């Protein structure tokens, strides 16, 4: 069914992203590749399409692009909501949850305890295990396994550490309102010992949530590993609301030492643009990486929404999609250590569809609709060289000159997404926006790879050095793709459009 013939209710259902059939979702949880399948669990309200009744929903994929939804994996009950967390494959059955030859998958999640539970108002870490590859789960009878008596201790990400300090499980979690990451170690996933804390540092404009910690080779050199600590925060992002920041440094098995801290303690509001962001757009939150991804790839998925307006976006019967999966790598340039991100799915099954090309074309003042390039689900690869124009770029999911503008302000060295005329915007006052990110041309050229879906735009600029992810809600008939310039000219070096629906 094309978007033009889709029912109004399903106009926004994504083609290349996961969204639940008819319920609410937020954070990705328990991402793991196991027995040839990518498992995506997620914060889910099984009973509605706004936040509540938090449980872990479940979907699987083999290509990271098409997903199958399964029954709820771990459900809330009268004592607890099941908040975010992670899953590990406990190969050696250190936890003892395995039986015979079956090693367990172990979920480490936050129990958000309800009044009357005996832990009223406390957030503590609990376990559940699966002996059938992640499809059915049993809660541990002795939960929680780690409590600090805190109401803001959540979002455990557990990794396996094998290094100079030994071989054990490491948990990173947050004391959210203290802007602190807390690190624990365990031999058996049941007993945990505090290792160290990190923070506050850099962005602290909102609570810290959903941390992750992983090693990456610098510039692909396996002899030169550094560690990346990612921390989502809400609000306090570079363009308001929810966003994810990261630090690069060293982890010795006990302490994470950042090499990229700009400010210690509480944030300096003037330095927001100096911090390192996983994404500069409004809709990339709670990003977390897969355990055990093949070939040591570091693959991340984020919730494509923003707590500022999350419960109000105009989709029905479902609400909130996930982002595309991204492969994360670490690059050093001019003494800086930066993450570079690429779309990670297996596109081969989808490729080879109708494609539109343009090269060496001058764009003049005004809007030029590209006949033959219209679509609702597209990959656009474009490279521009600035001329005299103050602003130039593309108009996506458009209706003539109205649409979502993705462009460059060459004088300011900025990429922007302007969604003020992107379609439905009036469901929340803070949704219509122009959002910017710093971007530097390479050999004078600005190159963008953009994934457009029925309710989203994901921009990978300069080979993935800067990304911007935003929701949009255009009508199903807003399909034009245009180029435009303001105040002069610019040149399209090359433009290619691949259609996916
Ligand atoms: C992040 C978050 C987490 C929490 C979950 C509850 O979006 O607030 O900190 O575990 O959502 O749904």
Give dist(CA 161, CA 318) in Å, integer: 38
Query: To test ligand 1's pocket by mutation, which of 43, 108, 125, 322 has the most ligand atoms within 8 angstroms of CB?
Result: 43
Read off the tokens for 258: 């950042």
pLDDT, tens digit, for every residue of 205-257? 999 999 999 999 999 999 999 999 999 999 999 999 999 999 999 999 999 99
Give dist(CA 231, CA 475) in Å, integer: 35
Confidence band, pLDDT 50/70/90 cuts, at residue 269? confident
What size, in residues, is the chain? 501
pLDDT, tens digit, for every residue of 412-421? 999 999 999 9
Confidence band, pLDDT 50/70/90 cuts, at residue 4? very low
Q: What pLDDT, on a 0 to 100 scale, did the predictor assign at position 350?
A: 77
Confidence band, pLDDT 50/70/90 cuts, at residue 346? confident
Query: To test ligand 1's pocket by mutation, which of 41, 84, 233, 301 has the most ligand atoms within 8 angstroms of CB?
Result: 84
Give all strands (DSSP E) within 75-220, no chain letters.
80-89, 105-113, 123-130, 138-139, 153-163, 166-175, 180-186, 193-198, 207-218
How many whole angstroms from 321 Cα to the centroid of ligand 1?
A: 15
Atom 9 in ligand 1: residue holding the nearest Cα:
209
pLDDT at 494 over 50: yes
Mean pLDDT for 72-98 is 98
- Ramachandran angles phi, psi of 88, nearest 5°: -125, 150
* Atom of ligand 1 lying closest to residue 85 CA: 10
Give dist(CA 257, CA 272) in Å, integer: 21
Q: What is the mean pLDDT of the chain?
A: 95
Query: To test ligand 1's pocket by mutation, which of 154, 241, 301, 308 has the most ligand atoms within 8 angstroms of CB?
Result: 154
Write out the CATH class of domain 21-343.
Answer: mainly beta
Confidence band, pLDDT 50/70/90 cuts, at residue 9? low
Give dist(CA 404, CA 456) in Å, integer: 10
Give dist(CA 47, CA 212) in Å, integer: 29
pLDDT, tens digit, for every residue of 351-387? 657 689 999 999 999 999 999 999 999 999 999 999 9
* Atom of ligand 1 lying closest to residue 43 CA: 12
Euclidean distance between the first and final Cα of the chain, in Å? 9
pLDDT, tens digit, for every residue of 465-487? 999 999 999 999 999 999 999 99
Mean pLDDT for 273-293 is 97
The set of protein residues with a Cβ atom below 6 angstroms from ligand 1 is 26-27, 43, 54, 83-84, 110, 154-155, 209-210, 286
Residue with tokens 């990400």: 157
Q: In the chain, where does the domain assigned CATH 2.60.120.560 lie?
A: 347-499
Question: DSSP secondary structure string, 369-389?
Answer: E-TT---SSEEEEEEEEE-S-
Q: In the chain, where does the domain assigned CATH 2.115.10.20 lie?
A: 21-343
Give dist(CA 12, CA 453) in Å, integer: 8
Q: What is the pTM of this model?
A: 0.96
CATH architecture of structural domain 347-499: Sandwich (2.60)
Read off the tokens for 125: 């870490």
Contact between 456 and 469 under an 8 Å Cβ cutoff? The reply is yes
* Strands 68-74 vs 80-89: parallel, antiparallel or unpaired: unpaired
Q: Catalytic residue numbers?
A: 27
């Amino acid at each position: 069914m094309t978007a033009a013939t889709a029912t109004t209710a399903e106009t926004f259902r994504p083609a290349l992203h996961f969204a639940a059939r008819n319920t609410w979702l937020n954070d990705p949880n328990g991402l793991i590749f196991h027995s040839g399948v990518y498992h995506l669990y997620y914060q889910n309200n099984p009973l509605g399409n706004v936040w509540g009744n938090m449980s872990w929903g479940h979907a699987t994929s083999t290509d990271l692009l098409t997903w199958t939804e399964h029954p709820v994996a771990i459900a809330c009950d009268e004592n607890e909501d099941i908040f975010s967390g992670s899953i590990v494959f406990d190969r050696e059955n250190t936890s003892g949850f395995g039986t015979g030859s079956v090693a367990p998958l172990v979920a480490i999640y936050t129990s958000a305890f309800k009044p009357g539970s005996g832990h009223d108002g406390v957030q503590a870490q609990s376990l559940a295990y699966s002996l059938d590859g992640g499809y059915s789960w049993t809660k541990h009878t002795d939960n929680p396994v780690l409590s600090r008596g805190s109401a803001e201790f959540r979002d455990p990400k557990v990794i396996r550490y094998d290094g100079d300090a030994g071989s054990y499980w490491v948990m990173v979690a947050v004391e959210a309102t203290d802007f602190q990451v807390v690190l624990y170690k365990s031999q058996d996933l049941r007993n945990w010992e505090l290792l160290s804390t990190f923070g506050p540092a850099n962005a602290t404009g909102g609570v810290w949530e959903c941390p992750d910690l992983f090693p990456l080779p610098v510039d692909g050199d396996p002899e030169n590993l550094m560690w990346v600590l990612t921390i989502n925060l809400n609000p306090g992002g570079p363009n308001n609301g929810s966003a994810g920041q990261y630090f690069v440094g060293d982890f010795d098995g006990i302490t994470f030492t950042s090499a990229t801290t700009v400010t210690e303690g509480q944030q300096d509001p003037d330095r927001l643009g100096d911090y390192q962001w996983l994404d500069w757009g409004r809709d990339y939150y709670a990003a977390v990486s897969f355990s055990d991804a093949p070939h040591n790839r570091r693959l991340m998925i984020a919730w494509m929404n923003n707590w500022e307006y999350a419960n109000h976006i105009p989709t029905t019967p479902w609400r909130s999609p996930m982002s595309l999966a991204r492969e994360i790598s670490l690059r050093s340039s001019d003494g800086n250590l930066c993450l570079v991100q690429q779309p990670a799915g297996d596109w081969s099954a989808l490729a080879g569809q109708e494609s539109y090309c343009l090269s060496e074309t001058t764009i003049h003042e005004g809007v030029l609709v590209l006949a033959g390039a219209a679509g609702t689900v597209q990959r656009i690869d474009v490279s521009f060289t600035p001329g005299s124009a103050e602003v130039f770029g593309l108009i996506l999911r458009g209706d003539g000159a109205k649409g979502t503008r993705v462009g460059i302000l060459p004088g300011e060295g900025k990429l922007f997404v302007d969604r003020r005329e992107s379609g439905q915007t009036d469901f929340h006052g803070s949704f219509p926006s122009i959002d910017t990110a710093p971007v530097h041309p390479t050999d004078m050229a600005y190159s963008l790879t953009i994934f457009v879906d029925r309710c989203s735009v994901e921009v990978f600029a300069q080979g993935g050095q800067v990304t911007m992810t935003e929701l949009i809600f255009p009508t199903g008939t807003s399909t034009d793709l245009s180029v435009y310039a303001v105040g002069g000219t610019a040149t399209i070096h090359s433009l290619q459009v691949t259609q996916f629906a």
